[in-house]
Amino acid sequence: MSGSARVLGVLGGMGPLAGATFMQRLTLLTPAERDQDHIPSILWSDPRVPDRTAARLAGGEDPLPWLLRGIAGLEAAGCGAIAIPCNTAHGWFEAMQEATSLPILHIVEAAADELLRLGITNGTVGLMATSGTLAMKLYQGRLAARGYECLVPAEEEMARLVMPAIELVKANRVADSYAPLAEIARRLVERGARAVVLGCTEIPLGIAAGPALPFPVADTIDALARASIAWAKPAG
């Protein structure tokens, strides 16, 4: 894509519904009066990228070559920065950033900014994410550096409720994922969390399919969309 505007590259497909919803939220959160006010962007939606959690925890195929192929494609198409609406893929962030001269917006930093926006400046926050994201500690150190402590679900809750719910979203059974996801979010708040970070981009899709939760949640799709808008329209 040519021209003087900043073109956003979106490495999506992980899962594809999260990537598409990211594009929708990017659009809806951009101040605009007509088509031409919106942000030029390219969504590279390759759902064939091998499962990120399986790669980290179960010796599954390495997703990195697929991720790098997407970044190279977005770079060749003329993008000026990369957003990746998949938290677990950020386990390969350093390798991706080394392979490109484009800035990659980090979803965990965006999530921390979202906590500030919600008025949560420190203390204990609940973290819902894939087993891969939890095992790689993508959030814990970064949030600790910004004054938060992470409370995560028990291993049994991950296996029985969180991971199956994420898989329901990937299988297009979004409405069915609401109950188990909302239940875990509630339990984290009962255990002392002041807010819950939806640290897997499938989770806000499920949570949006039912009644709003009565406590603050940091939606990492919206968080990354806001970071992308700040990059694309720095004056706004």
Q: Find, among 228, 236, 225, the residue nearest to 7 by Cα.
A: 228
129 scored as a contact of a second copy (CB under 8 A): no
Residues 6+ apart with CB under 8 A from 28: none
Nearer to a second copy by Cβ, of 30 and 97: the residue is 30
Q: Using CA atoms, how far apart are residues 184 and 167, in angstroms rounded to an integer?
A: 16
Catalytic residue among 71, 86, 111, 207: 86
Nearer to a second copy by Cβ, of 21 and 220: the residue is 21
Place of tokens 């399919």: 209
Binding residues among 42-71 for a second copy as defined by CB under 8 A:
42-51, 69
30 scored as a contact of a second copy (CB under 8 A): yes
Q: Is 86 known to be catalytic?
A: yes
User: HSE-up of 212 (CA within 13 Å, CB side)?
Assistant: 6
171 scored as a contact of a second copy (CB under 8 A): yes
24 scored as a contact of a second copy (CB under 8 A): yes
**One-letter identity of residue 114:** E
Nearer to a second copy by Cβ, of 48 and 156: the residue is 48
For the record, the structure tokens of 77 come out as 């198409």
**Collapsing DSSP states into helix, strand and coil, what is residue 235?**
coil
Q: Which helix (H) or strand (E) holds 41?
A: strand 41-45
Q: Is 200 known to be catalytic?
A: yes
CA–CA–CA angle 134, 138, 139 (5° rounding):
85
Nearer to a second copy by Cβ, of 79 and 150: the residue is 79
Catalytic residue among 67, 200, 218, 229: 200
Residues known to be catalytic:
86, 200
Positions that interact with a second copy (CB under 8 A):
1-3, 5, 13-17, 19-21, 23-24, 26-28, 30, 32-51, 69, 73, 76-78, 167, 170-172, 174
